[in-house]
C-alpha cells in the first residue's frame, strides 16, 4: 500500500544566514548559529530522514525506484531524486558564484576523484557529477545579482570611479564589448584577489562610490549594492564585480531562473529554491571559502542578458495556485494558497515533496495512503505510487515535482 512519508530535514548553518527567518517559518526557537538553508531531498550531503522507517529519503528511493519515482523518472535519472528543494534565508550576501553545466560537472568530479580528494574535502570544487540549474521564488522581498549587464551600461557605472582595478576593467570593456571582453573584465576582477595591493585599491574605489552616492548618483541602486558588499566583505573585489551584474529585486511570488553557468549572488531575503540535485558551487568572491578560478572561468557564461523569470501559470478560485516552470527537465514548483472552502489539486504523478509554509493542511492521495496532516514547517514525501494529490485546510504550501 502506498504511503506518505513525513520528513525530518537538515538546517544548514552558514554565516550569511538569518537568526530569525527560518526559525519563524519552522516554528522553532532561534539557535546560536545563523540558519541559512533548509534542505528537503535526497542529496547524499544531507538527505532528509523519513520519519517512522528510520532511514533516509536517499535509501528509500533506492529501495524501490519505480514505486517512489515512477518508471518515467527512474528511466531518465536512475534510482535518484532529480531535484533538491530548499528554503533559503539570507541576511547577508551569499558568495558570488556559478554552477557547472553537465559536462563540466562530470569532468571536474572525476578529476578530483582521481586526485584522491575525499568527499567533503575543503579543496574540492565538485561534490558530485551533476549540473545545477536552479530556480528561486520569493517569500519575502528578495534581493540578488544575476547575469551580466550590457557592457555599455557597465561602462557608464564605472565612469569617473578612482582605482587601478576599475580602470583596468573599464579599459578591457571599452576595447571589446563582446562576451570575450566581459570575460576579460570579470577575469581581471577575480584574479585581483591574489594581489596584495587589492584591498587598498578596492577601498579607494568604494570611497569614490560612496561620494557619488552622497552627491545624488543616478546609479544609486548599483552604488548602494557596492557599499553593502564592501561593508560585509572589506577589500574583496567582488563588491566591484557587482557593477558588472544585473541587480534584481523579487516581490513575494515572483521567481528567477538561473541556468547552469550564470554568475549570480543572492543578497537578502527568504525564498523557496529548487534545483537539480547537486551541491556544486564555484565561487568568484564575497567568501572565505575556496575560489577555484580555473573551474569558475571554464563554467561561466559571459553573454550579457537580462535576468530570466520562469514561466508562471496561475489557477484556482478561492484557493490560488501558481506553477513555476523553467527550461529544464528535473524540477518545477507549485505554490498553493489553500482556502477552507476549496481543495487544491497538486501534480498527479512522479516524486513530490510538499512543505507547509503556514497554516494547517491535509495532504490526501488517490491510491489509498493515509492522509498526512501538515502544520507550519512540516513536510512530506509523496511517492509516484500514491497517485493524484489534494490539499485541504487553510494555509500556504509549496510542492516540488518533476515535470
Which candidate in 283, 325, 352, 376 is catalytic?
283
Residue 173: name the closest of 161, 163, 184, 188 by CA. Answer: 184
Set of cell numbers at residue 203: 577601498
Set of cell numbers at residue 43: 542529496
Q: How far apart are CA 155 and CA 166, in angstroms?
A: 10
Active-site annotation holds for 325: no
CB atoms within 10 A of CB 318: 11
Those residues whose C-beta lies under 8 Å from the C-beta of residue 100, and which sit 6 or more positions away, are 108, 126, 131, 132, 260, 261, 280, 282, 295, 299
Q: How far apart are CA 383 and CA 222, in angstroms?
A: 45
If you search the block for the grid coordinates 507549485, which residue do you land on? 334
Handedness of CA 337, 343, 348, 352 (dihedral sign): positive
Q: How far apart are CA 250 and CA 244, in angstroms?
A: 19
Q: How far apart are CA 237 and CA 328, in angstroms?
A: 33
Catalytic residues, by residue number, are 283
Amino acid at each position: 500500500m502506498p504511503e506518505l512519508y513525513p520528513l525530518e530535514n537538515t538546517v544548514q548553518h552558514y554565516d550569511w544566514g538569518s537568526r530569525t527567518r527560518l526559525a519563524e517559518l519552522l516554528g522553532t526557537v532561534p539557535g546560536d548559529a545563523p540558519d541559512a538553508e533548509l534542505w528537503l531531498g535526497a542529496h547524499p550531503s544531507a538527505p532528509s530522514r523519513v520519519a517512522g522507517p528510520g532511514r533516509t529519503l536517499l535509501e528509500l528511493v533506492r529501495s524501490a525506484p519505480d514505486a517512489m519515482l515512477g518508471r518515467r523518472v527512474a528511466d531518465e535519472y536512475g534510482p535518484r531524486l532529480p531535484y533538491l528543494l530548499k528554503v533559503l534565508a539570507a541576511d547577508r550576501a551569499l558568495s558570488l558564484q556559478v554552477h557547472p553545466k553537465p559536462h563540466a560537472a562530470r569532468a571536474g568530479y572525476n578529476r578530483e576523484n582521481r586526485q584522491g580528494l575525499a568527499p567533503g574535502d575543503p579543496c574540492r570544487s565538485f561534490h558530485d557529477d551533476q549540473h545545477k540549474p536552479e530556480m528561486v521564488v520569493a517569500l519575502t522581498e528578495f534581493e540578488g545579482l544575476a547575469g551580466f549587464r550590457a557592457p555599455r551600461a557597465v561602462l557608464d557605472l564605472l565612469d569617473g570611479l578612482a582605482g587601478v582595478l576599475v580602470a583596468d576593467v573599464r579599459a578591457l570593456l571599452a576595447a571589446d564589448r563582446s562576451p570575450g571582453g566581459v570575460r576579460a573584465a570579470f577575469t581581471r576582477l577575480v584574479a585581483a584577489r591574489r594581489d596584495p595591493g587589492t584591498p587598498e585599491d578596492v577601498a579607494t574605489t568604494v570611497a569614490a562610490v560612496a561620494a557619488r552616492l552622497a552627491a545624488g548618483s543616478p546609479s544609486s541602486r548599483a552604488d548602494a549594492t557596492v557599499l553593502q558588499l564592501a561593508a560585509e566583505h572589506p577589500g574583496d573585489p567582488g563588491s566591484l564585480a557587482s557593477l558588472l551584474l544585473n541587480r534584481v529585486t523579487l516581490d513575494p511570488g515572483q521567481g528567477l531562473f538561473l541556468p547552469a553557468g550564470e554568475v549570480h549572488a543572492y543578497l537578502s531575503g527568504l525564498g523557496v529554491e529548487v534545483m537539480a540535485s547537486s551541491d556544486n558551487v564555484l565561487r568568484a568572491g564575497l567568501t572565505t571559502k575556496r575560489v577555484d578560478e580555473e573551474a569558475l572561468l571554464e563554467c561561466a557564461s559571459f553573454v550579457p542578458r537580462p535576468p530570466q523569470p520562469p514561466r508562471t501559470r496561475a489557477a484556482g478560485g478561492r484557493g490560488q495556485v501558481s506553477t513555476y516552470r523553467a527550461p529544464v527537465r528535473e524540477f518545477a514548483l507549485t505554490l498553493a494558497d489553500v482556502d477552507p472552502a476549496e481543495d487544491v489539486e497538486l501534480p498527479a504523478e512522479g516524486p513530490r515533496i510538499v512543505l507547509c509554509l503556514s497554516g494547517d493542511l491535509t495532504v490526501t492521495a488517490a491510491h489509498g495512503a493515509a492522509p498526512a496532516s501538515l502544520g507550519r514547517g512540516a513536510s512530506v514525501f509523496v511517492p509516484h505510487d500514491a497517485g493524484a494529490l489534494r490539499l485541504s485546510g487553510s494555509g500556504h504550501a509549496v510542492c516540488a515535482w518533476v515535470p
